[in-house]
Amino acid sequence: MEWKELLIRYGELSTKGRNRNAFTGRLRDNIRYAFADLPKFQIVTERDRMFIRPNDQYTMDQLIERLPRIFGIQSFSPVASCSLDLEDIKHTAIKVVESLERTDKTFKVTVKRSYKPFEMETNELQKFVGSHVLRTFPEIKVQMKKPDIDLHVEVRRDAVYMMAQVIQGAGGLPIGSNGKSLLMLSGGIDSPVAGYQMLKRGVRLDAIHFYSPPYTSELSKEKVMDLAEKLSRFGASVKLHIIPFTAIQQEIQKQIPENVSMTTTRRMMMRIADLVREDTNALAIVTGESLGQVASQTLESLTAINAVTTTPVLRPLIAYDKLDIIDIAQEIDTYDISIRPYEDCCTIFTPASPKTKPKLEKVEFYESFKTFDEMITQAVTEREIIMFPKKKQDKFSDLL
């Protein structure tokens, strides 16, 4: 089937009152950015919908495949067009319906006739198209209320436009319409999902990862890079900050009693994250914490960890079940990366029985014997920053 254009419905954007123009403009820019690799295409923004008109079939296929990942789109439909000739209209209607699953489906035709000199009236054209489709596909039945297939026929001056398929979009808000946050990206299953949830609410992301060579391998770093790459596919670049964490971890091992070392480790991570957040002009810190999942995610632990900063710490997964998180991870294609079995910095020095109810005063007391400030500043300045999506590495290109 050769489609002429795509009609895009905004969804939640429609309720955004006077900010609407900023939102639609943002969405248009995000679409341009996400499809920068394709030949140029036209985008027409209207009040409650948007049209995209690619110039070739490949671009159209790519758009149909990748648009469901762009936030701020509720749904979209491929639109076919034909001349005002009745035979042509019949033929196109058949082709449009043919491209859909039809067994046990109900159907209706909706006609909009903005070009009034057209030879048939609205009802006449409706019957004309409907009866022809029904004759061709005896397996479908007519139903006026909530049909499975609603074939829209719009007669304009230049051509007749037709569509029937409604493809679900990702929903949410266009990325960038809600500021920037810093995501703590561990390499596990939860944090990329938390990042995704924030992206979906229009938040732009930087990500921070703690790396402890030689205890953690190149592969664990590569894993986090792959996750950042995946997140960058949702329509906005992601900057990954990799923090050298070995020295601090070793110091914690030395100074802090084993059963609260985990809490201190998290507090140090949070302090570093807060510095990086400040440096990158992000407004909040995002984590993948889910209440009660592990020792560091009890309310007591969260309180002790959170005490190091007044920055809002957003925890979009706090009330999610693990299985629901896994479902989303699979949907957004990060699950397979997350379950690669490499050690990360949280797992290498795990105490046998970490405190699930650490007392803030005690933790602060233990930490008071050693000032970590200098090490923290050093870790922040020595961080490695990588942009995603990454430019192609060309080391291998002559081999391929």
Partner 1 sequence: MKRSTTVYYFDHSATTKPHKDVLDTFVKVNEEYYANSSSIHELGVEAHMLLSRARKQIADILKTDETKVIFTSGGTESNHFAIHGLAKSLQSRGKHIITSSIEHPSVLESMKQLEAQGYEIDYLPVNDKGIVLVEEVKTRLRKDTIVVSIMHINNELGSMQPIDQIAKVVHLNSRAIFHVDAIQSFGKYPVSFSVLGADVITLSGHKFNGLKGSGIVAWKNHLSFEPIIVGGGQESGLRSGTVPVAQAVAFAKAMRMAHENQLLMLSTYIRWNIKLRTFLNQFRDVRILSPDEAAAHILTISVRNIKGEVLVNALQAKGIIVSTSSACSSKQTKISHVIEAIGLSDDYKKGVIRISLGTSNTDLQIEEFIKHFSTIMKQIKGD
Contact between 400 and partner 1 by CB under 8 A: the answer reads: yes
Contact between 217 and partner 1 by CB under 8 A: the answer reads: yes
Total chain residues near partner 1 (CB under 8 A): 12
Of the listed pieces 67-75, 83-91, 116-124, 218-226, which binds partner 1 according to CB under 8 A?
A: 218-226
Kind and range of the H or E element at 160?
strand 160-163
- Alpha-carbon separation of residue 98 from 257, 299, 398 (angstroms): 69, 56, 44
At closest approach, how far in Å is the CB of 165 from partner 1? 16
CA distance 151 to 270: 54
Contact between 1 and partner 1 by CB under 8 A: the answer reads: no
At closest approach, how far in Å is the CB of 104 from partner 1? 13
Contact between 336 and partner 1 by CB under 8 A: the answer reads: yes
CB-wise, 26 or 221, nearer to partner 1? 221
CB-wise, 256 or 332, nearer to partner 1? 332
Among 33, 342, 349, 366, binds partner 1 (CB under 8 A): 342
Contact between 396 and partner 1 by CB under 8 A: the answer reads: yes
At closest approach, how far in Å is the CB of 399 from partner 1? 5
Instruction: Give the largest CA-CA distance in the chain.
Output: 89
At closest approach, how far in Å is the CB of 57 from partner 1? 10
x/- contact string, 362-381, with partner 1 (CB under 8 A)?
A: --------------------
CB-wise, 178 or 347, nearer to partner 1? 347
Structure-token pair, residue 206: 């930087």
CB-wise, 101 or 361, nearer to partner 1? 101
Of the listed pieces 22-30, 214-222, 258-266, 316-324, which binds partner 1 according to CB under 8 A?
A: 214-222
In the window 143-172, what residues touch partner 1 (CB under 8 A)?
A: none
Among 48, 61, 85, 382, binds partner 1 (CB under 8 A): 61
Structure-token pair, residue 20: 């609407």
Contact between 137 and partner 1 by CB under 8 A: the answer reads: no
Q: At what angle do helices 258-279 and 246-255 cross, to 10 degrees?
A: 150
Give yes or no for a contact between 345 and 215, defined as CB atoms under 8 angstroms apart: yes
Which strands, in side-by-side order, build the sheet including 180-184? 313-314, 284-286, 180-184, 204-211, 238-244, 384-388
Q: 295: helix, coil or strand?
A: helix
Supply the DSSP symbol for 39.
Answer: P
Contact between 399 and partner 1 by CB under 8 A: the answer reads: yes
Among 48, 218, 278, 331, binds partner 1 (CB under 8 A): 218
Contact between 222 and partner 1 by CB under 8 A: the answer reads: yes
Beta-carbon neighbour count of residue 82 at 10 Å?
Answer: 20
At closest approach, how far in Å is the CB of 63 from partner 1? 14
CA distance 267 to 372: 11
Give yes or no for a contact between 388 and 225, defined as CB atoms under 8 angstroms apart: yes
Q: Which residues contact 162 (CB under 8 A, 6 or more apart)?
A: 79, 80, 81, 82, 89, 92, 93, 96, 151, 152, 153, 154
Give yes or no for a contact between 231 and 238, defined as CB atoms under 8 angstroms apart: yes
Of the listed pieces 117-125, 149-157, 215-223, 377-385, which binds partner 1 according to CB under 8 A?
A: 215-223
Residues that bind partner 1 (CB under 8 A): 61, 103, 217-219, 222, 336, 342, 393, 396, 399-400
